Structure 1
Amino acid sequence: MLIGDVVGSRLAADRVELHRAVAAALKRIAAGAIDPPRFTVGDEFQGSYPTVGAAIDAAMSLRLLVAPNIDVRFGIGWGATTVLDAKAGIQDGPGWWAARDAIEQTAAAQRQPGFALTRTTFRTAEDSRDDVAAINAALLCRDHLLGSLDDRSLRILKGLMSNRTKKELAAAEGISPSAVSQRASRDGLDLIVVAGQYLRSVP
């Protein structure tokens, strides 16, 4: 189960455009979903995926699709869910509550010194998995790296995640391939890509 919302949405200059941009991004991460993600209340959205890795990958993809203009946070929950209202997309059950707890933990972490860049938390229903701590450790590190990128590095990362070559990205940015490689090394862009591949495979 994936629950997400827009950070600081009330401060947006154009909330209609914000909603439109996120809605378009949600459609692009619907492939492979059990329940495609969609808005539920306000700027909050939810959906479900067959694996934790698929939900993590969807969250990362959405972040990159709307960055840097829109910031989003997520809670990912593992456990059974029940659809209460299919038309409205309202769900319940241990997995939903785990995701709800996770996004609340994400919001709380953002207010702590040293954790301001946290955007994703994973929780399970009861003690149903033994990899929660390891997954959250990886998410914390990836979120910190991602949140530390400037706009150019974000664009390059988006390109790398789309399997574009560094030579192609250099041409698009008007810089040398060497400069792209140096930036990828300095900012951990290659590391983020590889971490994403590992996390995508989590069952």
Structure 2
Amino acid sequence: MPVTTLIGDLIGSRVSADRRALHARFQQAIDDVNERFAPPTPARITVGDEYQAVFASLGDALAASLLVRIALRPDGDIRHGLGRGEVQVLDASPRVEDGPGWWAARAGIERVEAAEGRAASRTLRTAYVAGPAGEDEAGTGPGTDTEALVNATLLLRDELVTGLSDRSLSVLRGLLDDETQRDLAERLGISPSAVSQRVRADGLGTIVAAHDLMKEIP
């Protein structure tokens, strides 16, 4: 059965000023994704600075990729590749996976790496590849038309997130956790009007709205 594979590659952790703290945030972000989405194959760190997970829907995988990224920003960043297609388990311990969905996600990572070398897309950190079938066997899943639309949205989402300050990221994290602007203001020690201004000026409301829409993709 086609699923969505998510592969994340932590960028530049070896030159981080505090690699231990960055990896602790990385692990916490992965744990939070597992708790929030309960993916069929839970997210786990694999080799080096990579992690993988398998989600039942593309929407869940897209949402998870944003949550992990904003958990690491601004001190760290991560590339994500998402691939739709079947995945086979070659070895259960340690878990080794293969199949069209896994390779599609790996191709997504390669797309991001290539995009980083172009001025128009240098802030891209997430790419989706539909896989060879392009849709579920029943013809009801996200197909190649969805691939182009999703990647256009990701290009804009990643551009907005890349430009956010630490304070704006804190506001965004709260909004994605369904905190009200008033509660955020109290927690962050700023005025409600300052929160509202950040939401408008930095496009935080747009990021949240796009996030909610993409979560509905099967």
TM (norm. structure 1) is: 0.94
1:90-120 CA-to-partner distances (Å, cap 9, x unmatched) read 2100000000000111111122112221110
Name the structure 2 match of 1:111.
117
Is 1:145–1:188's contact at 8 Å kept on the other side of the alignment?
yes
1:48-67 matches, cutoff 5 A: 48-67=54-73
Name the structure 1 match of 2:138.
none
Q: What 5-or-longer segments of structure 2 have no aligned partner?
A: 135-142
Q: Give the superposed CA RMSD.
A: 1.4
How much has 1:83 moved relative to structure 2? Answer: 0.8
Is 1:54–1:200's contact at 8 Å kept on the other side of the alignment?
yes
Q: For 1:126, what is the secondary structure of its paired residue?
A: coil
1:2-42 CA-to-partner distances (Å, cap 9, x unmatched) read 00011112212343433332122211111320101111110
Name the structure 2 match of 1:34.
40
Q: What 5-or-longer segments of structure 1 have no aligned partner?
A: none
1:114-145 CA-to-partner distances (Å, cap 9, x unmatched) read 22211100002125113100010111111111
Counting matched residue pairs gives: 203
Establish whether residue 132 from structure 1 lines up as the match of residue 147 from structure 2: yes
Distance 1:158 1:125 in 2: 31
Distance 2:104 2:191 in 1: 46
TM (norm. structure 2) is: 0.88
Opposite residue 94 of structure 1, the aligned amino acid is: P
1:70-103 CA-to-partner distances (Å, cap 9, x unmatched) read 2111000000001112222221000000000001
Is 1:77–1:123's contact at 8 Å kept on the other side of the alignment?
yes
* Cα distance, 1:178–1:16 mapped onto 2, change above 3 Å: closer
Distance 1:35 1:127 in 2: 21
Name the structure 1 match of 2:102.
96
Is 1:40–1:88's contact at 8 Å kept on the other side of the alignment?
no
Name the structure 2 match of 1:6.
10
Q: For 2:119, what is the secondary structure of its paired residue?
A: coil
Q: For 1:29, what is the secondary structure of its paired residue?
A: helix
